[in-house]
Amino acid sequence: MLATLQPEVRFDPADSDLYFLHRGEGERDIYFLANTSGQPKRVRSSFRDAKGKARLWDAMDGSVRDAGSGARLDLELEPYGSALVIFDPDAGPAPRRPATRDSGEPVVVNGPWTLTFGTAKARIDRLDSWTRISERRYYSGRGDYTMEVEVPRGPRHWRLELGEVREIAEIKVNGTPAGVCWKLPYSLDVTKSIKPGRNTIQVGVTNLLINRILGEPAPDYSALKPLRFPEPAEKKMIAEPLPSGLLGPVRLVPFEVIP
- 124 in Cβ contact with 115 (< 8 Å): yes
Tell me: the pLDDT tens digits for 204-255? 999 999 999 899 887 776 776 666 666 666 666 788 999 999 999 999 999 9
User: Residue 219: its pLDDT value, please?
Assistant: 74
Domain closes at, from 97, 118, 150: 97
> Would you say the pTM of this structure is higher than 0.85?
no
Domain count, the chain: 2
Q: What is the mean pLDDT of each run of 10 residues along the chain (259 residues)?
A: 76 92 89 92 89 84 78 88 88 74 92 94 96 96 97 94 97 97 92 96 97 86 67 71 97 91
Domain closes at, from 65, 97, 129: 97
Q: Indicate if 54 and 146 belong to the same structural domain.
A: no
User: Residue 122: its pLDDT value, please?
Assistant: 94
Q: Which residue segment(s) compose the domain that 42 sits in?
A: 9-97
Q: Indicate if 66 and 181 belong to the same structural domain.
A: no
Q: Indicate if 28 and 86 belong to the same structural domain.
A: yes
- 106 in Cβ contact with 149 (< 8 Å): no
User: Residue 135: its pLDDT value, please?
Assistant: 94
